[in-house]
Amino acid sequence: MSYLFTSESVSEGHPDKVADQISDALIDNFLAFDKDSKVACETLVTTGQVVLAGEVKSKTYLDVQKIARDVINKIGYTKGEYMFDGNSCGVLSAIHEQSPDINQGVDRSSPEEQGAGDQGMMFGYATDETENYMPLALELSHRLLKELAEIRRENSDITYLRPDAKSQVTIEYSDDNVPQRIDAIVISTQHDDFNTSEEVMLSKIKKDIVEILIPRVVAKLPAHIQKLFTDDITYHINPTGIFVIGGPHGDTGLTGRKIIVDTYGGKGAHGGGAFSGKDPSKVDRSGAYATRHIAKNLVAAGLCKEVLVQVSYAIGVAKPTSINVETYGTATVALSDGEISKKVEEIFDMRPYFIEQRLKLRTPIYSETSAYGHMGRTPEVKTVTFTNPMGETVSEEVETFTWEKLDYVDTIKEAFKS
């Protein structure tokens, strides 16, 4: 019997994502001037106010207020009527030095023996149902909001959009887990005050979403996914009605409250640790990236159609306490999941130092991860530039989303002879 599965996404203007983006902008600035920076930074945003808190060990000094304001303005909170804008909001910093008790468990005389920044378990997932090996419901949810943000910035086809928005997509799957059709799409978008009746306002917003946004998204999809967009989709557009008050004025935002949006939309599993605001010594982040890298390469190599990879650590200890691979019965080799796990452990060194080196994580690449998902993105080589309060400017070439590279496919095929 067929079944339904749903995933959601939130826009860059959602209050929790505003907080994530500020935290990751701080990470990038610290790493740009000091590659050895250890940072755990949380952000709270609310009406007219930003609060920064966390622990830092770094040789550099930053103007954290300016960094936060620049992020807020870039997102689009630039008007006083939003009750939260980058130029006028208050920014309070309560960032202090990292505990030496924690640091002694991470830093080692031999870099290779760098300890894990915390205990816990991390998961990576991949499936062959999309070209980027991501769950389809989440991929479509992200695409809807990225396109909506593009339309907002163009300010031509739809002129009333504000930064805050959420989406949700429900997919019908067959018994053998193949997407059959889109059952429902939910979009709630913040908007200007129409000064009309609520009925007229909602009619206009729904018409624009269905006739402008949806066709733009569909046009960028592969043909086999386009076929899932039928006339039978149920649309819930701004189902609560008026959505003028939004963003941090409508709801307080906190770093790390959208971890399912950041990963796999509820598919696979999640270890519970957030990513944003953490330097790569924190295995909540680097371990999750490394397991996604493994999972994606396993599926791309044809070893299985779907896979979940788990790794776990003890704080201050370099070697993982466990590595486990679950193929959901889709493995194409005559090996148990336990045997596959052993081979994966031989191929990928999962000690924190080697993850950082393999995925080039000690570079300022994190701002781009903080909205529209950390997984399923396209790697890109680019030059980034940062300036600190002392007038120092650094530029460097970085590679983003390295954990999405399919650079271990041949190695896996050779190891498994697949």
**pLDDT by residue (tens digit) across 60-111?**
999 999 999 999 999 999 999 999 999 999 999 999 987 665 555 566 567 7
The proportion of the chain whose per-residue pLDDT surpasses 90, expressed as a percent, equals 94
The model's pLDDT over 29-72, given as tens digits with 9 standing for 90+, comes to 999 999 999 999 999 999 999 999 999 999 999 999 999 999 99
pLDDT, residue 103, reads 58
106-130 pLDDT, tens digit each: 665 677 788 898 899 999 999 999 9
Does the pLDDT of residue 305 top 70, yes or no? yes
Q: Is the pLDDT of residue 277 over 70?
A: yes
Mean pLDDT of 229-254: 97
| Start-end of CATH 3.30.300.10 domains in the chain | 3-10+136-247, 16-107, 120-127+261-416
| pLDDT score of 113 | 80
Is residue 236's pLDDT more than 90?
Answer: yes
Q: How confident is the model at residue 341 (pLDDT cuts 50, 70, 90)?
A: very high
251 annotated binding-site participant = yes
What was the pLDDT predicted at 395?
97
HSE-CB of 114 using CA atoms within 13 angstroms: 20
**CATH code at 3-10+136-247:** 3.30.300.10
- The whole-number pLDDT of residue 417 equals 85
Is 166 annotated as contributing to ligand binding?
yes
| Residue-level pLDDT at 169 | 98
The correct answer on CATH 3.30.300.10 for the domain covering 120-127+261-416 is yes
What is the C-alpha to C-alpha distance for residues 180 and 145, in angstroms, rounded to an integer? 22
Three-state helix/strand/coil letters over 340-383: HHHHHHHHCCCCHHHHHHHHCCCCCCCHHHHCCCCCCCCCEEEE
pLDDT above 70 for 418: no
State what percent of residues in the chain have pLDDT above 70: 97
pTM of the model: 0.96
Question: Does 301 show up as a binding residue in the annotation?
Answer: no
274 annotated as ligand-binding = yes
Q: Is 55 annotated as a binding residue?
A: yes
How are the residues of the chain apportioned to helix, strand and coil, as percentages rounded to the nearest 5?
Answer: 35, 25, 40
> 165 labelled as ligand-binding?
yes
Which pLDDT score is estimated for 108? 56
Residue that the structure tokens 């990879």 belong to: 309
**pLDDT of 101:** 55
The CATH code for residues 16-107 is: 3.30.300.10
For residue 286, with 0-12 CB atoms within 10 Å meaning exposed, 13-18 middle and 19 or more buried, which class applies?
Answer: buried
* Mean pLDDT (whole number) for 292-318: 97
Residue 175, annotated as binding a ligand:
no
Mean pLDDT of 17-22: 98
296 among the known binding-site residues? Answer: no
* Residue 258, marked binder: yes
pLDDT of 112 reads 76
